[in-house]
Every structure is written in C-alpha cells, then in structure tokens.
Structure 1
C-alpha cells in the first residue's frame, strides 16, 4: 500500500506568509487613508458654498473623501477635482485655493459667478484649469504667473474683462490658452509670444486691439490660432506662414489691412474676411508670390 505523507512547511515559511499578509493589509488600509482635516474641511466648505445638495451628482459628506464623486486622491492629498456639467452654482469658492496639491481643476459648464481670487496663485502644482462656460467676471489676476506648471488654461465663455497680464509669459509649459467669448480687451502682451510650447491659442470674440506682432513666428508648436471677431489692425504678419504645424487658422472679422498670400487666405476659415471702417465685410487682397499680382480670394 502506498502512503502519502503530508508535506510540512518550515516555520520560517509560515511566518513569512503571515508577515506578507500583514503587510498587504497595511497597504490596503493606507490606500484608503483619509486626507488631512484641513483639506477635507476645504472640500466640505466648497460643497456647502455651491449648493452641493442640488448638484447633479452629490457627495455623501458623511463618508470618506475618497468616495467623493470627481475627487482624485494621491498620497493623502487632493490632486484632482473634475465636476463638469454638475449644476454647481454660487460664487467661485476661494476655499479651493487651499488645496495646494491640485493638479486638475475642471468645473466646466456650471453656474459659477464672481471673479478668480488672487489666491489662485497658491495652486502651484496645477497643470489643467478649466472653468469655461460659467459666469465669471472680473480680470485675470496677475498671480496666475505663479502657476508655472500649468499646461492648459481654459476660461472661455465667461464674462471676464480687462487685459491679459504681461506676467502670463512666465507660464512656460502652457500648451493651451483658450479665452474666447469673453470681454477681454487691450493689446496682446509681447510676453505672450514667449510661450513657445503653445499649441492652441483661442482668443476669438473679445475686444482685443492693436497689431499682431511678427514675433508670432516664435510659436512654432502652434496648431490652432483663432483670433476671430476682435479689433486687431494693421498688416497680417506674413510670419504666420512659418508656423508649419498650424492646422486651423481663423483671424477674420478684425480690422486687418494690407495684402496677404494665397496660402494664408486659403488656411483661414473665412478666407481673411475683415470689417472696414463702416463695419462692412471685405476680403483682403491677395499678393501672388509668383507674379506679384494683386487679386481677391475666390
């Protein structure tokens, strides 16, 4: 008769398994550890100040922050708030600027009013800011210059006024600047042309004025340039043709004058249609590179 004897594991192996199980349990506990009382308090103040009970998707404020809809936690810090189209109303909550580890703040298409606070400069880890389609007023605070990690700033479809601060030139990592459909005005600061990582520059439907600088050729990564419906004047810089990555161009319905190339006109969504002194739509004349002849777009 064949006997099968049980294989006994050495005590050291059993102990190692117990230790491994304990470590895994501790890791699981730490993975759901609560954020600091200060950060949780800031989130709760945000919830109360913006009528959280009326949000489309609300929070169970009696539960852990890790379960809050749209909130991302890493290493016990709030690093992301993404609550687009969530019926969030009230003044823009300055308390959010206490969450200094935030990398993403997305409050797109809500009903927030008021102005951006100076303290937004506290969010020095911020990479993506989107508060578009709200009712923000006031000016862009100079303190945005402190957001040196910012890659995307989308504040379009609001009621922002004033000019773009020259300090914006400090946002060297910025790839997307979308401020269209506001009431911004003034000339574009020359520092804007130092943002060499820009891929998207959308400033349409504002009240910007002055000339577009030849320095626009510095924006070599630019893929989308939209300055539609402003009050820019003077010659359209031929340097735009040097932007080899440009895929979308819309600078019509301004007050640009002078001649343009066929290549530039054909790229523009409205073929370089401008407004004359009487407010009538006119197309800029074409200068043929080959013959020097002047014509008009088809």
Structure 2
C-alpha cells in the first residue's frame, strides 16, 4: 500500500511539473509546429525555439495543459495556415494580424468552437469564408479586413449571437448583406467598407440597437436607406459614401449630433469628423499600411 501511495504521489508531482514546464498534448504541439513550419517560422521577427518549453514560445498562452491563445501580431508570418490548426480545440484567442499569410482559410478552422477572438486582418488571405463559420458559437470578434476574400457573406453569421465586432472591409466580397446580420443583438461594430456589395441595406440592420460603428462606404449598395436606421440610437460612426443610393432622405431625420463620424454623399447633411482614432474606423486610411510595418 505504501508503495502504491508513493507511486501516485510521484505521478501527481510529475504531472504538475509537466504543466509547470509548459507542456501540452503531442497533438497540440504538432499543430503549433505545423503553424511554425507553414508560415516560415525561421524568418519570424521573434521566432520559436522548438527545443524549448512551449510556454517560452512567443505569443503562446497555455492554461491547464492546453493552448488557449496564439498572438503573433506583426511578426512577419508568411506562407499559409496549416489544416492542423483545427486540432487546437481549446483555442479561444487567435491573433495573426498584420502579417503576410496567404492561401485560403483551412476548412478545419471551423472546428475551433471555443474561439472568442479571431483576428487575421492585414494579410493576403484569399477565397471564401468557410460556410461552417456558425460552428464558432463563442465568437465575439471576427476581423479579416484588408485581405483578398471573395464570395459572399455567409448567411449563418447571423447565428453567432455573441459577436460584438464583424469587420470584412477591404476585400473582394460580392452579393448582398444578409438579413440575418440583424440577429446579432450584441454587435457593436460592423465594417464592410470597400467590397463589391450590392442590393439594398436590409431593414433588419435597424435591430442592432447596440451598434456604435457602421461602415458601408465604397460598395455598390443601392435603393433607399432603411427607415429603421432611426432606431440606431447608439450609433457614433456612420459611413455610407461612394455607393449608389437612390435617396438619403432617412438620414435627414437622424440626430447627426450623436455622431463622431458622419460621412455620406449628401453634403447638405454636414459631414462630421471629430477627433477620433481613424485608423480603427476609416479603413480607407489603413489600406496597405502593412507593406512597411515589418521593415
């Protein structure tokens, strides 16, 4: 009995040492190594020592023996994302913004059902957004502005009830804005600037009572502005310029004093540009700024 007790005590101690030294399962470690190899890890600004404990690798967050965060913002990643990234099933934060990642999004990325923050803005990713994006039930931020995305905005984005920020600006996205976007009751920022969107703005946008930023400029949107815009009492930033609207009459009935930014093609509406951080709101000002970020 004493020997058995000692054995289990030693097992517990060794397990504790394993977690303390930043170890994770072989499958999760293999996925991290794949990410390193697929994005030319040797050329990163801050590379990983693959022989060192994983908790010493820049930008990797570990909790209870699992990878829960990867933050490699502006770190000179290139190449493509590996399919095995879907094996990091405990991942809640993925921030690979301001790099040079190309290719398409891996299909298995929609297996990351614990993901809350997904940031891949200012890269060179092409192709369509995976249709299974609604599997990411916990998602709060989905930001991929300034890539080369094509296809349409998936209708099932409307199922992501926790989404607070959706930014697809500066891509090649076509089609109409899905009515289902109006189901995102927690949405605070919607950026669809500089795409090839067409059709009318859905009236359901008026359901987004928490929306603070709405950036739809530089598209091919038409028709009239929905009267439901009058319900957007929290809106502070509204940009609609460079579209094909038949009428902006609805905007004349809105209280423009509520806005920090108010930009349309109707000069009689007195555009407003208060002292704010434009790099976060006016995507036109950020386009291709990543060209020299990593010099």
TM bracket, shorter-chain basis: 0.7 to 0.9
Say whether residues 1:237 and 2:231 are aligned partners. no
Number of aligned positions between the proteins: 256
Distance 1:265 1:179 in 2: 27
Say whether residues 1:151 and 2:132 are aligned partners. no
Question: TM-score normalised to the size of structure 2?
Answer: 0.82
Q: Give runs of aligned pairs for residues 206-221 of structure 1, distance below 5 A.
A: 206-221=195-210
Please, which runs of 5 or more residues in structure 1 have no aligned partner? 1-22, 274-282, 285-295
Query: Which residue of the partner structure matches residue 5 of structure 2?
Result: none
Change (3 A) 1:176 1:297: closer
Q: Give runs of aligned pairs for residues 1-298 of structure 1, distance below 5 A.
A: 30-258=19-247, 259-262=249-252, 264=254, 266=256, 267=259, 269=261, 271-273=263-265, 283=266, 296-298=268-270
Q: Give the deviation of 1:265 after TM superposition.
A: 8.1
Q: Secondary structure at the match of 2:157?
A: helix
Change (3 A) 1:26 1:141: closer
Q: Give the deviation of 1:48 after TM superposition.
A: 1.4
Q: Give the deviation of 1:27 after TM superposition.
A: 5.2
RMSD (CA atoms): 2.0
Distance 1:199 1:50 in 2: 32
Question: TM-score normalised to the size of structure 1?
Answer: 0.81
CA contact (8 A) 1:232 1:254 kept: yes
CA contact (8 A) 2:181 2:204 kept: no
* Higher RCO, 1 vs 2 (CA within 8 Å, ≥6 residues apart): 2
Query: Which residue of the partner structure matches residue 3 of structure 2?
Result: none
Distance 1:171 1:297 in 2: 34
- CA deviations over 1:189-240 (Å, ceiling 9, x no partner): 1111111110000000001011112211111110100001111111111221
- CA deviations over 1:10-45 (Å, ceiling 9, x no partner): xxxxxxxxxxxxx99985664335101111111112
